[in-house]
């Protein structure tokens, strides 16, 4: 005999799920009882949002494993606390399975204790949502959930399981036909497109740019993307999510957009052909869309047909998995020659390279982060929170792979970094994992320090502290005539003392000549630790494309660093 909760847990085991994140409660208690007999290790986070963001970080750091992150919560407030994390995963196309408990089927609609319409509540923030109120639906639902999360454009799926289904005996007929496989047939279909038109666009171009987005990760074919970049001489730019693709490549012009590099933004605006791979022409990347790459034809490749022609009309649209398209592009581009354009883009990259000679005694965050990135072990993961520090990491840190740069892109979720770092550390126990946070974001999920200590996860936290909500303050300075409204965090607690109270090793630095000492200390720690890096709250992120401007109309700091 086996009940529904035991069946669910054994299903996860058959899918080779080894780790889950969650928080128990009444409506999910049978699943937690089944976990006691399981080989799956459960990580108790201290808030359901922490659990879903940890599952997100787990999934991001293991893209290519064909295994989504898994989180578990109870009904009512447990489920509502998952919503932000689910939305975060949806906008960044992260495969994730959320399992929530629900009240008994007979109580649905009666406003029972901790009852909420989780199915209805979640519809806007997931790729698909299920309510399982019949034990005979369980096997098919679990298989569908994994297939939906992992195929096509990946995303989060929620499975809401009533308590009576968890407790019900599984029919013998269901046990005999249970399956744990899914088909990727739709994913791997050969995309139909006009090859002659592709060759015509490439042959007529003199200034092509490869525009790489998160779909290059979601297709799980980074090796094919890297092969393309190393086989052809075409400059390329990345979105925030694609930062880390061939970081050291000579023709990598960096991130484009609002806080992109000058080289990337100028090249995009001068280009006559954009080869857009797995991008959605997001407003943070394009600036004023009507002024974006005004002279460029567009070849747009995406597995999600809804993204094609949504914002920028494509001259050639190719709906399909990159795996099928990259070899064609590889062969076609190798036959073209763009040497003059390549030399120009290399000169842009040289002309607008970063400088780190900021004067004064204060710590200069971009320099600190660049030095930390160089000193950290190869294959280090950096999980960011959201704000100025997030942009500085994207601009100044190098990554061996985009899967090592964990950043909340589409939703911009403050509090993402620490739980995501926890998930990445669980998934990659032998790698160095660093959480770069700000004093605003850090307070959002500070309770997860307890999770670090309970499981002795050696996450290294770098807290960039400017005693302000730095990004909002920067905008109020630039666009609201220094009318600072609710951005002052000068009454923050002593974060070193707070970290030590939780059980972490902690240290503070606040002068430029302490930077190397601080980095050495951080990287030498064997357990969870926090380095508070105090900076001047007048520091700002440059360059910046202001609202309504084209990408080449960047605001630059005086005496550009």
Question: Is the Cβ–Cβ distance between 445 and 419 less than 8 Å?
Answer: yes
Distance separating alpha carbons of residues 309 and 1, to the nearest angstrom: 53
Examine the pLDDT at 458 and tell me if it is beyond 90: yes
Question: Is the Cβ–Cβ distance between 305 and 282 less than 8 Å?
Answer: no
What's the pLDDT at 189? 55
Question: Is the Cβ–Cβ distance between 363 and 533 less than 8 Å?
Answer: yes
Residue 110, token pair as written in the block:
């009666």
- pLDDT category at 559 given cuts 50, 70, 90 is very low
The 3-state DSSP composition of the chain as helix, strand, coil percent (nearest 5) reads: 40, 15, 40
Look up residue 468 and give its DSSP letter. B
Distance separating alpha carbons of residues 237 and 212, to the nearest angstrom: 6
- pLDDT category at 217 given cuts 50, 70, 90 is confident
**Residue 182 is among the residues annotated as catalytic for this protein:** no
Distance separating alpha carbons of residues 255 and 241, to the nearest angstrom: 9
Peptide bond into 543 cis (omega under 30): yes
The catalytic position among 15, 163, 349, 507 is 163
Give the DSSP letter string of 248-261.
T-TTEEEE-STT--
Residue 301, token pair as written in the block:
């490749």
The pairing of beta strand 69-73 with beta strand 529-534: unpaired
The catalytic position among 114, 137, 167, 336 is 114
Distance of CA 45 to the CA centre of its chain: 19
The catalytic position among 113, 169, 555, 557 is 113
Report the pLDDT averaged over residues 481-509: 97
61-74: pLDDT as tens digits: 998 777 899 999 99
Other Cβ atoms within 10 Å of 391 Cβ, number:
23
**Residue 163 is among the residues annotated as catalytic for this protein:** yes
Element (H, E) at 273: strand 273-277
Please list, in sequence order, all residues whose beta carbon lies within 8 angstroms of the beta carbon of residue 50, skipping any fewer than 6 positions away: 21, 418, 419, 422, 445, 447, 448, 451
Q: Among 124-138, 149-163, 213-227, which is the least confidently predicted range?
A: 213-227
Look up residue 542 and give its DSSP letter. S
More confident residue, 359 or 464: 464
Name residue 21's beta-bridge partners: 43, 71
Other Cβ atoms within 10 Å of 13 Cβ, number:
14
What's the pLDDT at 286? 97
Residue 222, token pair as written in the block:
């980074």
Give the Cα-Cα-Cα angle 227, 384, 88 (nearest 5 degrees): 85
The pairing of beta strand 41-44 with beta strand 19-22: parallel
**Residue 471 is among the residues annotated as catalytic for this protein:** yes
Distance of CA 145 to the CA centre of its chain: 21
**Residue 425 is among the residues annotated as catalytic for this protein:** no
Examine the pLDDT at 510 and tell me if it is beyond 70: yes
More confident residue, 176 or 283: 283
- How far is the CA of 91 from the CAs of 94, 124, 126, 388, 412, in angstroms? 8, 11, 9, 20, 10
What's the pLDDT at 352? 96
Residue written as tokens 């791997």?
Answer: 188
Report the pLDDT averaged over residues 106-117: 94
What's the pLDDT at 497? 98
Examine the pLDDT at 3 and tell me if it is beyond 50: yes
Distance separating alpha carbons of residues 445 and 463, to the nearest angstrom: 13
Please list, in sequence order, all residues whose beta carbon lies within 8 angstroms of the beta carbon of residue 465, skipping any fewer than 6 positions away: 438, 439, 492, 495, 532, 533, 534, 535
Name residue 236's beta-bridge partners: 210, 252
What's the pLDDT at 218? 74
Distance separating alpha carbons of residues 79 and 202, to the nearest angstrom: 49
Mean pLDDT, the chain, whole residue set: 94
**Residue 414 is among the residues annotated as catalytic for this protein:** no
- pLDDT category at 271 given cuts 50, 70, 90 is very high
Instruction: Supply the angle between the helices 365-375 and 388-396 in degrees, to the nearest 10.
Output: 50
What's the pLDDT at 176? 63
Main-chain phi, psi angles of 334, to 5 degrees:
-65, -20
What's the pLDDT at 184? 46
**Residue 116, CA atoms < 13 Å, CB-side half-sphere:** 17
Other Cβ atoms within 10 Å of 119 Cβ, number:
18
What's the pLDDT at 185? 46
Element (H, E) at 71: strand 69-73
Question: Is the Cβ–Cβ distance between 420 and 53 less than 8 Å?
Answer: yes
Q: Which of 202, 218, 213, 206 is nearest to 236 (CA)?
A: 213
Over pLDDT 70: what percentage of the chain? Answer: 96
- Please measure the distance between the N-terminal and C-terminal CA atoms of the chain and give it in whole angstroms: 69
The catalytic position among 48, 147, 270, 515 is 48
Examine the pLDDT at 523 and tell me if it is beyond 50: yes
Examine the pLDDT at 561 and tell me if it is beyond 90: no
Distance separating alpha carbons of residues 37 and 107, to the nearest angstrom: 29
Examine the pLDDT at 183 and tell me if it is beyond 60: no
- Write down the pTM of the prediction: 0.95
Other Cβ atoms within 10 Å of 330 Cβ, number:
16
Domains of the chain, first to last = 4-177 (3.40.50.970), 195-351 (3.40.50.1220), 365-534 (3.40.50.970)
Q: Which of 323, 330, 326 is nearest to 188 (CA)?
A: 323
């Amino acid at each position: 005999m086996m009940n529904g909760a035991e069946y669910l847990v054994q299903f996860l085991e058959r899918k080779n799920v080894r780790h889950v994140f969650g928080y128990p409660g009444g409506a999910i208690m049978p699943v937690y009882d089944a976990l006691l007999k399981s080989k799956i290790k459960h990580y108790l986070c201290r808030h359901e949002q922490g659990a879903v963001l940890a599952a997100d970080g787990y999934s991001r750091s293991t893209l290519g494993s064909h295994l989504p992150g898994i989180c578990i919560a109870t009904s009512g407030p447990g489920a509502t606390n998952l919503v932000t994390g689910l939305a975060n995963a949806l906008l960044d196309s992260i495969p994730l399975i959320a399992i929530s408990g629900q009240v008994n089927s007979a109580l649905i609609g009666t406003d029972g204790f901790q009852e909420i319409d989780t199915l209805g509540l979640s519809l806007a923030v997931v790729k698909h949502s299920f309510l399982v109120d019949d034990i005979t639906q369980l096997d098919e639902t679990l298989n569908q959930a994994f297939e939906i999360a992992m195929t096509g454009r990946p995303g989060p799926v929620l499975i809401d399981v009533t308590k009576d289904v968890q407790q019900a005996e599984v029919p013998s007929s269901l046990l005999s036909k249970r399956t744990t496989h899914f088909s990727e047939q739709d994913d791997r279909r050969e995309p139909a497109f006009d090859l002659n038109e592709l060759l015509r666009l490439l042959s007529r171009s003199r200034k092509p740019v490869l525009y790489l987005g998160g779909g290059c990760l979601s297709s799980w074919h980074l090796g094919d993307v890297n092969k393309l970049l190393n086989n052809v001489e075409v400059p390329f730019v990345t979105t925030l999510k694609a930062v880390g693709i061939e970081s050291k490549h000579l023709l990598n012009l960096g991130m484009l957009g609002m806080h992109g590099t000058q080289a990337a933004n100028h090249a995009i605006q001068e280009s006559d052909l954009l080869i857009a791979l797995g991008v959605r022409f997001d407003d943070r990347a394009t600036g004023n869309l009507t002024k974006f790459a005004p002279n460029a034809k567009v070849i747009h490749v995406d597995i999600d047909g809804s993204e094609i022609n949504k914002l920028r009309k494509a001259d050639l649209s190719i709906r399909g998995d990159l795996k099928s398209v990259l070899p064609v592009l590889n062969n076609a581009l190798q036959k073209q020659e763009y040497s003059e354009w390549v030399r120009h883009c290399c000169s842009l990259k040289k002309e607008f390279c970063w400088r780190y000679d900021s004067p004064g005694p204060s710590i200069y965050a971009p320099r600190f982060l660049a030095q930390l990135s160089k000193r950290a072990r190869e294959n280090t993961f950096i999980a960011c929170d959201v704000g100025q520090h997030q942009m500085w990491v994207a601009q100044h840190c190098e990554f061996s792979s985009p899967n090592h740069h964990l950043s909340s892109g589409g939703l911009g979720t403050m509090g993402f970094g620490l739980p995501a770092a926890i998930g990445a550390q669980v998934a990659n126990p032998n790698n160095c994992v660093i959480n770069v946070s700000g004093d605003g974001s850090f307070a959002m999920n500070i309770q997860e320090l307890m999770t670090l200590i309970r499981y002795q996860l050696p996450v290294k936290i770098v807290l960039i502290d400017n005693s302000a909500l730095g990004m909002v303050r920067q905008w109020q300075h630039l666009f609201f005539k220094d009318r600072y409204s609710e951005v002052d965090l000068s009454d923050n607690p002593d974060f070193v003392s707070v970290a030590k109270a939780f059980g972490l090793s902690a240290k503070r630095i606040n002068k430029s000549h302490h930077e190397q000492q601080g980095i050495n200390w951080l990287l030498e720690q064997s357990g969870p630790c926090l380095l508070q890096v105090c900076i001047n709250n007048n520091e700002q992120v440059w360059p910046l494309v202001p609202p309504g401007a084209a990408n080449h109309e960047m605001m630059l700091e005086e005496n550009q660093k």
